[in-house]
Chains A and B, each alone.
Chain A
């Protein structure tokens, strides 16, 4: 074939890549960059997790034991920032980098150099953020939401916080632009939009959300910066500003951000469930439209984060009903996943266990979200441990489980080796039991009135806090099993077939395991039969 001829004619660059550190520093390969994203996310997951361990250790008993309140507040603040911007978002972008070109039949991402830059910004941004612990005045301690005027009391760390947020935002916007450009321009012949795998669909929608909402956050934090250092008064009442305005601008970003985090996870489990139920996804079109509706509606519900600031009744009613309406497309998705499993020939390999975990426990978080969407009762739940339980239920078993499930699902494809199924299942069961021991009691604490972001608490909350902390320690330690499974799988194991899973369908499973360095050098022809699972 012509390939053989070109071999002799000139240098073949098919698998040519720099070696050593240069391979990673100058990488323009979607798989290498995807791997770096995932490794970075895993490291940040443990950095943020270590901070969570400090929080749970301090809350193990009432009274102040290990850390002083200022440091405790830094822990809650930086834990959130590291987890959201350092672990969850890069993990999503990493999976997108690895999988999207393979799923749509492309050789690589559309803009490989920008891909390199969007990754390499991250370690610098994370360093800016974590370096604040060694600064005069300590790390930011005003909460990850950075509400003024409290956040303006941050010491020398303040500009570092702002610039870290800027850089993390720039990185994710570049990732989003790349994903949109790739999907819009590099689909294989016959791969129409309505044949895209759902993971690709959820990522396009996420990418648009990122581009629309991250700059708003950048604007808000820039206003904080100029308020503090250049005498502007956007949020300073003395100069005619209004601190509540920050909350509006912040949550105009913040609520779409929630869906930026969760939609890729929805996409992953939409790939996993059909594979292990051995049935096509139920209601593919409705899944796409539901995802798009969730994304669209997410721009009209921001004020449900601030029902207690003193809004007029009409405002509270509007945001209550808008919030409730998001439950409709979300319900469509939950229904479709359940219907996909209905009468399927199900097997319960680790990825499927994690996907079902998402389905169950995301729904718990979704329901407590509905409870708080009801304005009058939110006045009781606001800033208590109930909200902590709610968002951790949607983030940990909702998003992190989706990402972990995706890692187990695609790990044999990436490495060419099967992971240790026994350890994977052990990881799932220990995590699932401990995550519920960790977060479920926090509902009770919140309903009983325990405020969030406080290092000490009334003696009446002692028992559930102790139970919650034990769950936290077990959950934290059990994530080391994941690390061990991944390392073991990378180093060797039973060889995986190209299809890996019996029920797997889609272009990525037609490539070899591990796939070639450049995914599809010749675009595959996509037919109805070989389209999405």
Chain B
């Protein structure tokens, strides 16, 4: 049963991927995306939301919203800037709201697929290409794509832990 506890981890991921319940977005190959049927009759508005968690960066979306037809490839641009004086590795974690729509939202290209390393003061523009599945029910007219950038632990993390235990001291 100890092993079962660990087995729950991949099981949970598979379960969430199949049902789309934890709001994580999926990926799709460019070829598959181009073959998708476009539904010209309706428009889906995708709103963008950017967050940072314990990372001294600036992170903004160039467009606030993008409107696409389901099945049509959409594109958005995001900008990150490292405002600190050291190199930092960051990882963006995407999520979709409402979560029930997340299985219909797929990306062909995203800066969240890889870690982003920014030198001190460096700025980077990044593209996201996404496609909303034409099978998505019509009750979803707007989706929010939210990204949170996390700092990945590196050599500085030891310092961070020390800072943290300093902070919670009573």
A310 to B96, CA, bound (A): 13
Using A245-B12, A252-B8, A310-B99 as known contacts, say yes or no to A136 and B169 having CB atoms under 8 A apart.
yes
Within 8 A of B (CB), among A277-291: none
* A215: chain B residues within 8 A (beta carbon): 1-2, 4-5
Contacting residue for B6 out of A138, A211, A223, A231, CB 8 A: A223
Question: Chain A's interface: helix, strand, loop or mixed, by majority?
Answer: helix
**Interface status of A514 (Cβ within 8 A of chain B):** no
**Interface status of B138 (Cβ within 8 A of chain A):** no
Interface string of A295-319 (1 = CB under 8 A from B): 0000000000000001110010000
Contact status A218-B150, CB under 8 Å: no
In which size bucket is the chain A interface? 35 or more
* A223: chain B residues within 8 A (beta carbon): 5-6, 9
Contact status B91-A239, CB under 8 Å: yes
Contact status A240-B93, CB under 8 Å: yes
Contact status A312-B19, CB under 8 Å: yes
* A156: chain B residues within 8 A (beta carbon): 165
* A312: chain B residues within 8 A (beta carbon): 19, 21, 100
Contact status B5-A244, CB under 8 Å: no
A155 to B166, CA, bound (A): 9
Within 8 A of B (CB), among A80-103: none
* B164: chain A residues within 8 A (beta carbon): 153
A312 to B16, CA, bound (A): 11
* B168: chain A residues within 8 A (beta carbon): 70, 137-138, 153-155
Within 8 A of A (CB), among B1-31: 1-6, 8-9, 12, 16, 19, 21-22
* B165: chain A residues within 8 A (beta carbon): 136-137, 155-156
* B6: chain A residues within 8 A (beta carbon): 219, 223
Within 8 A of B (CB), among A296-352: 310-312, 315
Interface string of A392-429 (1 = CB under 8 A from B): 00000000000000000000000000000000000000
> Least Cβ distance of A190 to chain B in Å?
35
* A245: chain B residues within 8 A (beta carbon): 8-9, 12
**Interface status of B155 (Cβ within 8 A of chain A):** no
**Interface status of B153 (Cβ within 8 A of chain A):** yes
* B12: chain A residues within 8 A (beta carbon): 242, 245, 248
**Interface status of A76 (Cβ within 8 A of chain B):** no
Chain B residue with Cβ nearest A69: B170
> Least Cβ distance of B12 to chain A in Å?
5
Within 8 A of A (CB), among B40-97: 53, 91, 93
> Least Cβ distance of A158 to chain B in Å?
10
Using A245-B12, A312-B21, A312-B100 as known contacts, say yes or no to A71 and B5 having CB atoms under 8 A apart.
no
* A216: chain B residues within 8 A (beta carbon): 1-2, 4-5, 8
Contact status A219-B21, CB under 8 Å: no
* B53: chain A residues within 8 A (beta carbon): 238
Within 8 A of B (CB), among A56-73: 68, 70-71
Contact status B153-A231, CB under 8 Å: yes
Contact status A220-B170, CB under 8 Å: no
Contacting residue for B169 out of A155, A212, A237, CB 8 A: A155
A67 to B19, CA, bound (A): 46
Using A153-B164, A218-B2, A249-B5 as known contacts, say yes or no to A237 and B22 having CB atoms under 8 A apart.
no
**Interface status of B152 (Cβ within 8 A of chain A):** yes
* A213: chain B residues within 8 A (beta carbon): 1
Chain A residue with Cβ nearest B2: A215
* B21: chain A residues within 8 A (beta carbon): 310-312, 315
Contact status B8-A211, CB under 8 Å: no
**Interface status of B144 (Cβ within 8 A of chain A):** no
**Interface status of A167 (Cβ within 8 A of chain B):** no
A212 to B152, CA, bound (A): 36
Chain A residue with Cβ nearest B12: A245
A154 to B169, CA, bound (A): 10
**Interface status of A234 (Cβ within 8 A of chain B):** yes
Chain A residue with Cβ nearest B1: A215
> Least Cβ distance of B55 to chain A in Å?
9
> Least Cβ distance of B22 to chain A in Å?
6
Chain B residue with Cβ nearest A154: B168
**Interface status of B148 (Cβ within 8 A of chain A):** yes
Contact status B93-A70, CB under 8 Å: no
Contacting residue for A249 out of B8, B19, B99, B169, CB 8 A: B8
* B8: chain A residues within 8 A (beta carbon): 216, 219, 245, 248-249, 252
> Least Cβ distance of B156 to chain A in Å?
13
A248 to B12, CA, bound (A): 9
Contact status A238-B91, CB under 8 Å: yes
Given contacts A231-B153, A252-B8, 4 further A-B pairs with CB under 8 A are A217-B5, A219-B3, A242-B12, A244-B22
Smallest CB-CB A-B distances: 4 pairs: A219-B5, A238-B150, A215-B1, A215-B2
A sample of 19 inter-chain contacts (CB < 8 A) reads: A136-B169, A137-B165, A137-B169, A155-B168, A155-B169, A212-B1, A215-B2, A219-B2, A220-B5, A223-B6, A223-B9, A237-B150, A238-B91, A238-B152, A239-B91, A249-B5, A249-B8, A249-B9, A253-B5
